[in-house]
Amino acid sequence: MKKILVTGNAGSGKTAFSSDLARALQIRLWRLDSIVWKPGWQETSIEERREKIQVLVDGDSWVIDGVSSQVFLAADTVFFLDIPLYRCVFNIVKRFFYNGFKTRESLPANCPEIFGVFKAIKIAFIYQKVTRPIILNVIAENRQKKIIWIRTYGELAKHQPVAL
């Protein structure tokens, strides 16, 4: 495992899991949220995203958290956090109450949770209807990849890495 993607819905636990994984494996961690969003919750253009993601995936080893077919194809291992929608929405709301007017460290400046919570809930529902089926198709077309499919937090706990 040298090129690892941690993917799943908003609120699925990607951030916490990928942080622990990168720390345990002593591999550089990248978050796609920092590429997708610019300060003030402005979206980055698709061309700029592709270019920035390409720089990341060209590296020798990494853990990347987010949703990207470009990263999926470059990864040798994919952790697919396929957590139920209701739990993801619960986690998004919980994250809002924890962060409130602050910006999470995984985001650019001036992206306070108070404005992001509504975007994240919308993204969670769109993900379930649109993005998840695409991910399932990409998985089916790339059976040679090591896919660790995680459906519950109990399963996620079993894969929780231990620091070296």
pLDDT confidence of residue 163: 57
The CA-atom distances, in angstroms, between 79 and each of 15, 101, 114, 131 are: 12, 30, 29, 16
Closest among 120, 35, 30 to 74, alpha carbons compared: 30
pTM above 0.85, yes or no: yes
pLDDT confidence of residue 117: 87
Strand 37-38 with 42-43, pairing: antiparallel
Which contiguous run of DSSP H or E holds residue 43?
Answer: strand 42-43
Closest among 39, 26, 22, 156 to 91, alpha carbons compared: 156
Tell me which residues of the chain have a pLDDT lower than 70: 162-164
Domains of the chain, by residue range, sit at: 3-158
pLDDT confidence of residue 104: 80
Query: CATH number of the domain at 3-158, please?
Result: 3.40.50.300
pLDDT confidence of residue 110: 86
